[in-house]
Each structure stands twice: as C-alpha cells, then as structure tokens.
Structure 1
Amino acid sequence: MAFDLPRDVILPVDAVDVRLVKEPHPFELENAEAIALNWAGEIAARPALFDGRVVLLSSLGYAGRVLTGICHEIGFSTFLYWRKLKPVPSAEHAFAHGMLISSDNALIAIRMGPQTANAGKVYFAAGSFEPEDFSADGQVMLDYNMAREVGEETGLDLAEAKRAEGLQVLSTLGGTVIVRCYRLPEAADAIAARIRDFVARDPDPEIVGPVIIRGKDDLPEGLMPHMLPLVRWHFEGAGE
C-alpha cells in the first residue's frame, strides 16, 4: 500500500525518514488541465494567493516507531485542487506542528487571516513543507520547518523554548501531522501579547492573531478537526 499507517490515533515517533525526490508527482501530471482551471477560480476569489512550491506525498508508512515516506515538489495550485478531491489514493499531505506550550500549561495557537487558503481556521502556527525544508540529500528537516513557520507567522523564536525530544504523529484521511512540543518560559497572556505586537507591525500578516487554549473543553470557533485530539492529548497529560 502507498499509505500504510494507523489512522485517527496519536503515535510516538523515534525517527522520520521522509524524502523529497526529483520526479514529478503523478497526480499533478494527470490533472494539469483541471488544476489550472481550479486555480483560476481560486485566485478570482482570493487574489492574494500565490502559486508557490510545496510538496505532496506519494507514500507514507509507520512501523517500529519510524515514519517513512516519499514526496514530490508540486505547485500550491495542485495542492488546492488535491484538497478539493481528497481522499485521493495516490496522494496525501503531511505537515509539522510545533506545539507551543506556555509556562502556565496553555496551548498557543493562531487564527489564519482572511486572505489565506485556511481563512479563519485555528491551529498551531504551521505550513506545508516547501523544498527549502529538505536537506541536500532530500531528507525533511522537521525542526527547521517548524521554526521557520512559527517565526514567519508569530515572530516567536523556537530557540527560546524547551524542545521535547520525542515526536508524535497523527494521521487522518485529511492529512498527517508530525508534532513536537515546545515549552516557552512565559505565561500564555505574555506570549499572546508578543504575537499581537508582531502582527501589528507586520505589513502583510498571515494570521489574525493568537488563540489561547486553556483546557480540553476550551475549543475556539474555527478549530481544525485534527487539533481536537491534540488538545485532548495535551490536557489529559499524555504529553508529560
């Protein structure tokens, strides 16, 4: 099977071997005309969208606490068309979350801006893997991706946080998220104030602002479905 891993359960991960190959993704080749047509509609609705380069998986598996996969560089236009069709047997999406935890044990998420593809949605600061998130030999650099996305969206520097050694993975038919916990030395309100200040000074912010989650039942409007099990996992003490 191209995608062989348990679904809808949070699993521990000791190693990630997800690699970017040079070959184009078959999904993009087979759907070029439909992708272009869909993209025309997407940018008509949200002109700020940019057809940058991201990646899409052609295989992913989990065995012996190791996550292994192959991905291909695609256009963001391809990703948006795939997202409309999913689940697609030949293609899936994976991304990384730096789970930000305050000194008072709250979770720090963000709400995406109205000009983005995930307008109004709430999740941890993150984005799709891009070609720059892979080493010269094609290996995904998870911590680089997490630090880059958190910095771009919130202004926070993950070097200030205590980094958990272990990783977790949660796979659903909508996508697979790889998670690492980062504990920040400040309380939630202070972190949120720093993020709001960064957003106010950013001439083109990606996010509306921070969202503090203080308990497993403190679920904000717009929370992405994959966030619910992660919130419960944290507040039920599984991440201690």
Structure 2
Amino acid sequence: MMTPVIHRVTQLDLTRSDWQWPFARERRDEIDAHFALKRAEKPQLFNGRVLLARNAQFTGDQFRAEYFETDFASFLAWRDWRCPDPDVFNGFGMGALRASDGAFVLGEMGQHTSNAGRIYFAAGTPDLDDLRGDVVDIAGSVTREVEEELGLTEADYRADAGWSCVVTDFSVAMMRLLDADQPGETLRSIIEANLAGQATPELSGIHLVRSEADFTPSMPLFVTAFMTAQLTPAA
C-alpha cells in the first residue's frame, strides 16, 4: 500500500466521458453474483449508477480527471476484489468538518451500509445527481453529503476555497475544510439530535478527533493522513 500523497489545489477539472468499463462488461456474471450475496447480507443496498474516474493529472494548482458511469454492483465488486483494474480509481469529495475548538467531526457508518463501522468525514462516491452537464460537481457533492449525513447546511460552516487531494492506491479523496463556529461537543450534540430524527440514518455515531491519540483503525488511511497534516504545526 502506497503512502498517501497530498496535493493542495484550488481548481478541479472533472468531466464525464462516454467511456465503457471493460471490467464491468467482461466480469458481469461474477459481479452480479457478488452483489446478490451482498444484498442477502444487507437488503438495503441499492444498485444505482455511480461515477468512477481515470486519467488523474495534477498540474500546478489544478486536479484533472475523466469520469465514467457504471453501476454500484461493479464498483462494489472492484473494491471488494482489491481493485483488479488499476487504471480506475474512486475520486470523491469529503467535507472535513472542523469545530471552533479545533476538533474534527467524523461519522461512523451504520451496519446497514457497504462501509459499516468505518469512520470518516461526510462523503459519497459521486453519482448522476452530481453532474452539471458533463461536469462532475464535487463541491456540490460535498454540500449534499454533509446535509444528508449530518443535517448541516452551507449556513452552518465556512468552506475553504481550496482542496487537499489525498492520493492512495485506488482513490483520490478531495478534502475540503468546513469550519464551524461551534465547539466539538456542541456540534456532536446537534448532529446526534439530527440522526435521532432520521428513519434510517447512514451514521451510527459521531467521533471527535483533537489529536493523533484519537485515531482508530476504523479510520481510513486517507482520512488520518489528512488530519495528521492539519494537526501538525507548520515548520
């Protein structure tokens, strides 16, 4: 597994193409069988359309990538089978919510989700709702995921102008700092109250991270790498 590399950018140039994924076509029967097994374990899984990416390029302060449409079943099989097509990656946005006292606010995924138990910032693999014509709107995706998962709107935080793109083996996590005016415990209470009012919340709990001592194995490497960079004082 590669050590995460963080690129700081101010521009995202992310566009959809009509490229067809050979993996999804050539291994269709295996993919469908795998998804049937996963649905038997977690009936709420839905085989909707998602956007994956390829041809990542960092130039100056810009990140560019080409996205293509596929089904969630193909994405799930690719992920679970340790990404057998290395030319494809999951390029997604994350809203790194930071409280006024410096605590980062992360959510733990519920047991009914495909990422059960994982702890990270509000995020989601881009889907067709994130398209503006042929442009993949990651900023809009972050705003939507933060509202859906945490119940917070753009009025509740200040979004940083830039992005920290954390590159790992098969993903590029486009992290955007979201600074709130409330301390961590207050934000946790607000979000937990919102979750209590949801019929089927995606999250099962809220975690605060104030230092590396708060990291857990359930936090993906791209999340801890980003927080380490933010928590480490500049030289």
Question: One fold, TM greater than 0.5?
Answer: yes
- 1:147 matched to which residue of 2? 143
- 8 Å CA contact 2:88, 2:170 repeated in 1: no
* TM norm structure 2: 0.93
Q: Percent identity over the alignment?
A: 27
- 1:113 matched to which residue of 2? 110
How far 1:168 moved relative to its partner? 1.1
CA–CA distance in 1 between the matches of 2:10 and 2:99? 24
Of 110, 118, 123, 2:120 maps to: 123
Q: Could you tell which deviates more after superposition, 172-181 or 114-123? A: 172-181
Q: Unpaired segments of 5 or more residues in structure 2?
A: none
Determine whether 1:50 maps to 2:46.
yes
Instruction: Please identify which structure carries the higher strand content.
Output: 2
Q: Unpaired segments of 5 or more residues in structure 1?
A: 1-5
Of 188, 193, 199, 1:197 maps to: 193
How far 1:221 moved relative to its partner? 4.8
- 1:180 matched to which residue of 2? 176
Determine whether 1:96 maps to 2:110.
no
Following TM superposition, the consecutive aligned residue runs of length 4 or more in structure 1 with deviations greater than 3 angstroms are none
Matched positions, count: 232
- 1:76 matched to which residue of 2? 72
- 2:31 matched to which residue of 1? 35
CA RMSD of aligned residues (A): 1.6
Of 212, 230, 233, 1:234 maps to: 230
CA–CA distance in 2 between the matches of 1:68 and 1:27? 23
Q: Aligned letter for 2:53?
A: L
Q: Aligned letter for 2:168?
A: T
How far 1:24 moved relative to its partner? 2.8
CA distance change for structure 1 residues 83 and 233 in 2, over 3 Å: closer, same or farther?
Answer: same
CA–CA distance in 2 between the matches of 1:236 and 1:42? 40
